[in-house]
Amino acid sequence: MAEIIDGKKIAEEIKLEIIQDTKVFKKTTGITPGLAVILVGGDPASQSYVASKGKACERMGFYSITEKLPADISESDLLACIDSLNRDPKIHGILVQLPLPKGLNEHRVIETIDPNKDVDGIHPMSIGKLVIGLDTFKSCTPAGIQEMLVRTGNDPSGKHVVVVGRSNIVGKPVANMLLQKQTGANAVVTVAHTGAADISKFTKQADILIAAIGKPEAITASMVREGVVVIDVGINRVEDASLPKGYRIVGDVHFESVSKIAKAISPVPGGVGLMTVAMLMKNTLRAARLNAKRAET
């Protein structure tokens, strides 16, 4: 049976570090880190993610606001909201919860965020710096994956990492992050995706498999080799009439079968999801720090 990579425990460790660092930062600078989260529309999963971000801010000792905007908001009104947060000195980080309702251009929206406040690490400036190995805000879910690997003794250096999925918020940034010639990275990375006739040809070669496909339990035991380390990024709702809420949450990996042959595996829930919030907190403190430094010069 595989060792469980406990995202809850690791996220808690990181949050305790941030609480301490925030106390020192507030004392020495008199500045309270501030995060603004923008939620457009009423998608239930997004509402719950946004609520957990607000709660985490409170615990860290941050100032936070949540802008809840209607699904039919015009793009120019949304951009005006971001622009006003860009200019708000109490706000050091801005996150626009994705996906956005249809009709809003995600790229234009993200590009409107001040790169100095891009604590989500998804602005083209942050992604560009990530790709060429410069210090920047790291996208939260990829950074969470990297921390999970490093803190459990599964350093990716020299390993073959296979990422399944090529999204802009997980697949592409995590692949780029782990291939850098840097500590906690330096992996040989393959990105497999729906363009492959048979993804198992690639997943079977993985020392470390990162599943970010968005399909419930798509990775099964026959698709991986014994001793693989698995990070499951999927958060899928599947109908389950036996439960009061009518659904349960599963990952992109068939946990029951894969956990029998893997060396280590992150569960869903209790895995990557909690790490994403912890890394967002870390980036928000970093944004406040950088802002204070810029003000000094």
**Binding-site ranges for ligand GUN (CB under 6 A):** 95-98, 120, 140-141, 169, 276
CA angle 165, 130, 278 (to 5 degrees): 75
CB-facing half-sphere around the CA of 270: CA atoms within 13 A: 8
Number of neighbouring beta carbons within 10 Å of residue 279: 26
**What is the C-alpha separation between 20 and 281, in angstroms, rounded?**
12
Strands 247-250 and 236-239: antiparallel
Q: Shortest Cβ distance from residue 263 to ligand GUN (Å)?
A: 27
Q: Any idea which residues carry the catalytic annotation?
A: 53, 97, 120
Contact 160, 208 (CB under 8 A): yes
Q: Shortest Cβ distance from residue 156 to ligand GUN (Å)?
A: 20
Which of residues 83 and 256 has its CB atom nearest to ligand GUN in the complex?
Answer: 83
User: What would the two tokens of residue 223 be?
Assistant: 């698709």
Contact 240, 246 (CB under 8 A): yes
Which of residues 267 and 273 has its CB atom nearest to ligand GUN in the complex?
Answer: 273
DSSP 253: B
Which of residues 167 and 180 has its CB atom nearest to ligand GUN in the complex?
Answer: 167
Q: Shortest Cβ distance from residue 98 to ligand GUN (Å)?
A: 4
Which of residues 147 and 207 has its CB atom nearest to ligand GUN in the complex?
Answer: 147
Residue of minimal Cβ distance to ligand GUN = 98
**What is the C-alpha separation between 187 and 180, in angstroms, rounded?**
8
Q: Shortest Cβ distance from residue 136 to ligand GUN (Å)?
A: 15
Q: Shortest Cβ distance from residue 157 to ligand GUN (Å)?
A: 25
Which of residues 97 and 112 has its CB atom nearest to ligand GUN in the complex?
Answer: 97
CB-facing half-sphere around the CA of 162: CA atoms within 13 A: 21
**What is the C-alpha separation between 269 and 241, in angstroms, rounded?**
19
